[in-house]
Amino acid sequence: MTAASTTTGARIEVRDLTKIFGSFIAVDHLSFDVEPGRITGFLGPNGAGKTTSLRMLLGLIHQSSGTATIDGQNYHDLAHPQSVVGSALEATNFHPGRSGRDHLRVLAAAGGLPDSRVDELLELTGIPAAARKRAGEYSMGMRQRLGLAAALLGDPRVLILDEPSNGLDPEGIRWLRGFLRHLSAEGKTILVSSHLLQEVEATVDDVVIIANGRMVRSGAMSELRGKPSTIVRTSDAEQLAGALRVADVLSSPGTDGELIAETTDKQLVGDVALRAGLPIWELRDRKADLEALFFELTEGTNRNLGDGNPGQPGDHVPVEPDAISGREGANE
């Protein structure tokens, strides 16, 4: 970014945020914070309420109750919103017959920004060669880059992105990861909604996980991962667990006869098994990952799959009116 891009980000605060459509609770008393200088991943199954929450944060739909503020203010109360918040919730909010450059020029003019800023963002997001091409002919990955360029026009302190990796090839995903890291290092506040768990794990500092519109877990990635441990398979897991306990190593049963020892010292585990006269069939590191945590917390909670929470299988789940076009869209 430019030399001016060293402004500290703004804090996002969500408190008891709730959205009800008829009898359907899309978001249920949701509370979390997003800190400046950090990348926060906003995760949940399809229909969990992620996009609805982001739309309330950006003032695109009204909440039923609760608050969602940026730098202590509602989005509509920000004096210069383009310099405070940049967002990309859809990769289709452009005129298909307008070139990518002209799309950005229209947005820049509305915000009182010079065309030079448009050229800077086209270069920064890697689409200068396609700038004169009609946006309707862009690939999904190019549309994502155009949406990101639009979000960054005002050099905002806060960046809110909904599924920014969709349509990007591996090189593009790697570029996006580095780009977001660069922006957070400048002090910007970044909130990213995504379903690509491995990519989120490699990118974010903090995680907010929701299911059925409710918070199920939040915290720093380093805390949520927990402590690495060791998986061991032997002929008698219960006997080995007792021998490990004597050696001051706690353990717990795993799947398929595995034993999970709360240590990364595989030599210690092997020595204990040898002294106990037990064979070692398998010995490997067990690293707690985001995917395992995600499915542990959300498995069986996708209300769009008819799990009965809320509602029963076959119940109609209301859809959310698109806040920009007036279309009817999915609630997530």
pLDDT in tens, 149-164: 999 999 999 999 998 9
Q: Rounded to an integer, what distance in angstroms lies between the CA atom of residue 329 and that of residue 323?
A: 9
pLDDT tens-digit map of 41-76: 999 888 899 999 999 999 999 999 999 999 999 999
% the chain with pLDDT above 90: 59
Q: Write down all domains in the chain, each with its CATH number in brackets.
A: 12-224+294-329 (3.40.50.300), 227-286 (3.30.70.100)
% the chain with pLDDT above 70: 86
pLDDT band at residue 227 under the 50/70/90 scheme: confident
End-to-end CA distance of the chain: 32
pTM listed for this prediction = 0.76
Instruction: Decide if 149 contacts 122 (C-beta within 8 A).
Output: yes
Q: Rounded to an integer, what distance in angstroms lies between the CA atom of residue 240 and that of residue 276?
A: 7
pLDDT tens-digit map of 314-330: 333 444 443 333 333 33
Q: Rounded to an integer, what distance in angstroms lies between the CA atom of residue 61 and that of residue 323?
A: 6
* The pLDDT value given to residue 309: 44
Q: Rounded to an integer, what distance in angstroms lies between the CA atom of residue 156 and that of residue 58?
A: 14
